[in-house]
Structure formats: C-alpha cells, structure tokens
Amino acid sequence: MTGTKQYDRIELLDRAIELFRRQGYNGTSTAELVAELGVNRKSMYAEFGSKQGLFEAALQRYSEEHLSNVLSPIEAPGAATDAIRESFAIYGSASEGWARGRGCLMCNTAVERAALDPGAGRYVNAYMERLTRAFRRTLANGQRSGEVDANADLDELAAFFTTALIGVAACIRAEAPPEQVQAACNVATSVLDAHRPVVAAT
C-alpha cells in the first residue's frame, strides 16, 4: 500500500543509539546512519527531520528505555544503600563486558555535545537531575532505616554519587583497565561506610 512505512521507528532508534554510542555524534556521518538504519535518506529525514532530530529522538529513547533498565536499582520504591552499591557494581562489571568502549550514550553526550548543543544539553541536564534525585531519595530511605547517619548531608552525597557514576561511565567508554574502574567503584561506595550512624560505646 502506497505511503505505508516499511520500517519500525523504535528499531531505527535502537540502531541509531548503538551507532551514536560507538562513534559519537560528530563521528557519525549521515551516510553511515542511512546504512546502519537500513532506510534511504529521504525516509530518515521524513521521520526525524535531520541528523540532529534523529540524535535527540535517540536520546529520548535511551532515557526512557535503556536508562530506566540501568537505573532500576536506585529508582525502585524503597531502594536504600544496597541499591547504590548494586548500581556501582553493575557499572564495574560493565568495564569488561559489552559496554567497554561504548559507555553510556548520555554520559558520552555530556562530554561531547552538551556544552555546544542546547538540544542535546537538555537531555543531559535531565539525566543528571534524574540521577541526583534517585540517589537523594535512596539515601533518604537509608537514613530513615538507620543505614545513613542522621547528620549526613544527603544533597552533597547525592551530588558526589552522580559525579562518580558519570566518571565511571566515561572511563568505561575510554576503555580504562577494568581493575581501575572497579577500584573506583569500590572507593565510591566506601563513602557509604563513612556515613553510617556512629554507635556509642557502652
């Protein structure tokens, strides 16, 4: 039937995500996108408007689907300090898995595009705010359950864990030695031990 799309938008976005993840926005040509997506240039522009439009749609898809899976430990209702440890452990393991050399599309974009590209920067800022909120909520749960000292500054801790996780993701992208990435994750989560409630000696 004339006018019927011969492709699935979600499938195109997932293919674009992997290409942008490997090569970055600047390193990916329109010709490479057309070849990777398996559609002609006219169809790609009709669906997304431009390379920039495709990139922003890919960031939206990545945020809604891929990041939701990765961040599920700290975004789960009732998540506490164990969820923070689990998140860093997942990233530590990724340093020697399929994510090595790819990293996180949102973190990669933060380094490559956010300062120069307001469209991409909007998604990066939303990601950082989402990550910080999740850490803040998780730490507050830990504080209520007695895992985090009542006097701990949760805003500072949430900012620290956000920055640490983004740094770890950047190292995975740069193919840093897995033992280096895992050591960084261990040191980051050791901050939780330093903020446990102090038990008075009897």
Distance CA 185, CA 87 (A): 9
Contact 148, 195 (CB under 8 A): yes
Mean pLDDT of the chain: 91
Phi, psi of 201 (to 5 degrees): -70, 145
From the list 116, 119, 134, 14, the residue with the least C-alpha distance to 71 is 134
Cα three-residue angle 196-201-202, rounded to 5 degrees? 140
**DSSP 8-state assignment for residue 148:** S
Closest CA to 62 of 104, 25, 98: 104
- Spell out the domains of the chain, with CATH numbers in brackets: 1-54 (1.10.10.60), 71-194 (1.10.357.10)
- Token representation of residue 35: 């070849």
The percent of residues above 90 in pLDDT, for the chain, comes to: 75
Rg of the Cα atoms in the chain: 20
Statement: the pTM of the whole predicted model exceeds 0.85: yes
Q: Is the pLDDT of residue 199 over 70?
A: no
Main-chain phi, psi angles of 103, to 5 degrees: 70, -150
Q: What is the pLDDT of residue 6?
A: 64
48 backbone dihedrals φ, ψ, rounded to 5°: -120, -10
Q: Backbone phi, then psi, for 43, in 5-degree steps? A: -65, -40
How far does the chain reach from its first CA to its final CA, in angstroms?
81
pLDDT tens, position by position, 12-67: 999 999 999 999 999 999 999 999 999 989 989 999 999 999 999 999 999 998 88
Give the pLDDT mean for 83-101: 91
Amino acid at position 16, single letter: A
**pLDDT for residue 198:** 77
62 with 17: CB under 8 angstroms?
yes
